[in-house]
Structure 1
Amino acid sequence: MPLPVGVAVERVTDLTSPLAIRAEVFIEGQGVSLADEVDGRDPDCLHWLMTDAEGPVATLRVLPIDADRAKVQRVAVLARARGRGLGALLMRFVLSDLQLQGFSRITLGAQVDVIGFYERLGFAAHGPVYDDAGIPHRDMDLTF
């Protein structure tokens, strides 16, 4: 999948930049507690980082659940980069990568105000709205 000039996405094991982005977006920007954001699951997850000409700009993590199912979590784009379609590009890149790795069912818990974003990527919402770290969420699924 082609990315805009100057934009790159890679799977990373050094979590310095992903954690910094998540802190800015979730802790500083949305008031999520440090305990809720840094939940101890990062070692169990796969992590991706998007950079642009100015440096790290977006991240997400994926928790493998079983051989064919994974859960996308902690999707975060810095405020300076929002509105450029980078979040959708990151998601499409990672979904393609997950499909190549053999995953066929992807789940996530979407903040209610961004459900439409995930629907445009093919996810379908189901179940009731629930609280996660003080923010209303709803579960969503995508099957390849």
Structure 2
Amino acid sequence: MATGFRIEIAPADGYAAALPELRAVREAVFVREQQVPAELELDAQDPLCRHALARDEQGRVIGTGRLTPERSLGRLAVHAEWRGRGVGEALLRALVTLAAELGWRELTLNAQTQTTGFYAREGFLPFGDGFVVAGIDHQPMRRLLDAVNPVESREAAVAALQGVVAGARRQLALYSRELDPGLLDRPEAVAALRRFATGGGQVRVLLQDPAAPQRAIAPLLNLGQRLTTAFEFRAIEEPVDRGYPSAYIVNDLGGWYFRALGHRFEGETRLDAPARARQLRALFDPVWERARPCSEYRALGI
């Protein structure tokens, strides 16, 4: 957690005492900044919710969020001057932890569409149709707690990838047929891998068909050309390895996204399952040793 603030969970019966501080943050963010009508922002659920508060070193509330009786997460707000300093992430993780402690198996939320990547990095996947509230586009998202999360759409696949990449410490292993058009060429996916690589991360990529992304000039090849010390590509040539039907990405802190059929987006993901992550690395590593370096990529000049 970043320094300069702390997170606290208000007591279940502490809404009245916390109300002035909660309202100060939420009115600043939602009502004045985002122009949400005040009568929509403060609803009848508030007294029934569990609230998290972020305080600065002087004890002033700089951010807040809540869990509703319907087992959803919402009203996550951080003062503008504190954004980008880890406050939102800390609030979100505190609320997810609280939901797990309460025995909830699933947590849902309605994300403003420009914030879906923020929630994806913490394991939330989009589902269902978007909608508009107070003129702002929203997307339902959910995360199963202490369980594998099904990936059922392309958008959920992009979110799953973002979560695994964001959860890595130093290493990512990616097993793909041909750099997964529709997934690894999405701007959100490329941006996530760029952030990881420029932050000192190492990405190993195993490909069954290295020629296909080369013909398509896949964005990830462009990224690999610019960040040659971060990306390494190898081609699978052994017949026993080329017959493997699945695809996956796995990090070094227990996060993974696995697709039984590598040409499809449907699969499973989880950010906190180190045993399964070790299994996938045990599959990846010997194939990596047998594969040949993609020397042709170094000569692309792109």
Tell me, in whole angstroms, the C-alpha distance in 2 between the residues paired with 1:127 and 1:4: 34
Q: CA deviation at 1:5?
A: 4.0
2:90 corresponds to = 89
Q: Does 1:40 align with 2:44?
A: yes
Greater Cα shift, 74-83 or 50-59 = 50-59
Name the counterpart of 1:109. Answer: 110
Q: Which of 7, 10, 13 does residue 9 from structure 1 map onto?
A: 7
Say which SS state the counterpart of residue 129 (structure 2) adopts: strand
Q: Could you tell me how far apart the structure 2 residues matched to 1:121 and 1:10 are? A: 19
Quote the offset at 1:49 in angstroms. Answer: 0.7
Counterpart position of 1:50: 54
Q: Which amino acid aligns with 1:57?
A: I
Distance 2:31 2:76 in 1: 13
Structure number with the higher strand fraction is 1
**Quick one: percent identity of the two aligned structures?**
35
- 2:106 corresponds to which letter in structure 1? R
Contact 2:2/2:86 (8 A) holds in 1: no
Alignment correspondent of 2:65: 60
Higher CA-based Rg: 2
* CA deviation after TM superposition for structure 1 residue 6, in Å: 3.8
Which structure is higher in RCO with an 8 Å CA cutoff and minimum separation 6? Answer: 1
Instruction: Report the equivalent of 2:134.
Output: 133
**TM-score of the aligned structures, taking structure 1 as reference length:** 0.90
Aligned-pair CA distance for 1:20: 0.8
Residue by residue, what CA displacement relative to the aligned partner does 1:83-114 show, whole Å, maximum 9, x if unpaired?
A: 11210111112211221121120000000000
Structure 1 residue 31 corresponds to structure 2 residue 38: no
What is the Cα deviation at residue 64 of structure 1? 2.0
Q: Mind listing any 5+ residue stretches in structure 1 that lack a counterpart? A: none
- Partner of 2:143, secondary structure, is strand
Q: Secondary structure at the match of 2:32?
A: helix
Extract structure 1 runs of 4+ deviating beyond 4 A: none
- Structure-2-length-normalised TM-score: 0.44
Does the CA-based 8 Å contact 2:66-2:95 persist in structure 1? no
Which AA in structure 2 matches 1:140?
A: M
What are the residue-to-residue correspondences of 1:67-86 with 2, within 5 Å? Answer: 70-86=71-87
**Alignment partners' CA distance in 1, 2:36 and 2:64:** 17
